[in-house]
Amino acid sequence: MTLSFFLYLLSVGMSEASSIVNMRRVTHPTIREPLAGIAHLPCVFTLQPSELSPSSQPPHIQWTRTWIPQGGEGGPLEQMVLSAKGDMVKVNKAFAGQVRLLGYAANNLNATMEISGLRSNDTGTYHCQIVVADDYERDIVPLVVTGEWFIAGVIQKLRIRSFPNTIQHVWIVPNRYATSIISIVWEFFCLFCKLLQPWSRLYQYF
């Protein structure tokens, strides 16, 4: 073994030993969940034994979200989602009642985050960052929320005398991820349109 190779191994060993926090970091596949569904974003880490004593400062956990704005103009935007340290957990108001750390109460080395009631604008790249003293680790989890509702018809002219024809061209089409609440609203809308059609025909005679 040459002296240079020995010094290289020694430097690598010292750098690994000096790392306080070690994250179980893997290349996460893109997580795809439906609208109004639930997503689990994994983030688990370990600490050096010296950092596990009661007198040690608890790790600081930060979840942030980045995304590309519509149109692709400018750089990616970043938003704080959640921050936790010890017994203190702070959630961004935009995610209030929607996010939580699943196993954090039982084990503060588990920073896996749950997002419920998924919205289309929850799509983005989520970053889990663990900070201990001057050391930190960061993991990345991509999330895509699927199941958009869309209007599959275009109202070109909206006139009372052509109301029945207009109704025939307007359809709100749900995909397989549609929620039951929106389906009920759709049924009421269809019933409302059927009730109005006779009156719209009578109106044509005036």
Domain of 71, CATH number, reads 2.60.40.10
**Is residue 10 scored above 80 in pLDDT?**
no
- Looking at per-residue confidence, does 27 or 143 come out higher? 143
**Is residue 146 scored above 50 in pLDDT?**
yes
pLDDT tens-place string over residues 26-77: 678 999 999 999 999 999 988 876 555 555 788 999 999 999 988 877 889 9
Residue 169 structure tokens: 């061209």
Q: Are 94 and 100 in contact (CB under 8 A)?
A: no
* HSE (side-chain half, CA atoms, 13 Å) at 167: 17
Report how many domains make up the chain. 2
What one-character DSSP code corresponds to residue 57? P
Parallel, antiparallel, or unpaired: how do β-strands 31-34 and 113-115 relate?
unpaired
Residues 140 and 51 in one domain: yes
Residues 55 and 155 in one domain: no
Question: How many angstroms separate the CA atoms of 65 and 82, rounded?
Answer: 10
- Looking at per-residue confidence, does 88 or 197 come out higher? 88
pLDDT tens-place string over residues 93-102: 999 999 999 9
Give the residue from 39, 31, 5, 13 showing the smallest Cα distance to 141: 31
Residues 85 and 170 in one domain: no
**Is residue 133 scored above 70 in pLDDT?**
yes
Domain extent for 190: 150-203
- Helix intervals (H) in 3-103: 3-18
Give the residue from 126, 97, 96 showing the smallest Cα distance to 111: 126
Question: How many angstroms separate the CA atoms of 104 and 87, rounded?
Answer: 9
Question: How many angstroms separate the CA atoms of 76 and 101, rounded?
Answer: 25
- Look at residues 130, 146, 162 and tell me which one is the last residue of a structural domain: 146
pLDDT for 20 equals: 66
- Looking at per-residue confidence, does 46 or 176 come out higher? 46
Enclosing H/E stretch for 168 = helix 163-168
pLDDT for 73 equals: 78
Residue 157 structure tokens: 């002219």
Name the phi and psi angles at 142, rounded to 5: -80, 140
Residue 87 vs residues 22, 74, 84: alpha-carbon distances, Å: 21, 37, 7
- Looking at per-residue confidence, does 13 or 93 come out higher? 93
Within a domain: 104: yes
Residues 31 and 48 in one domain: yes
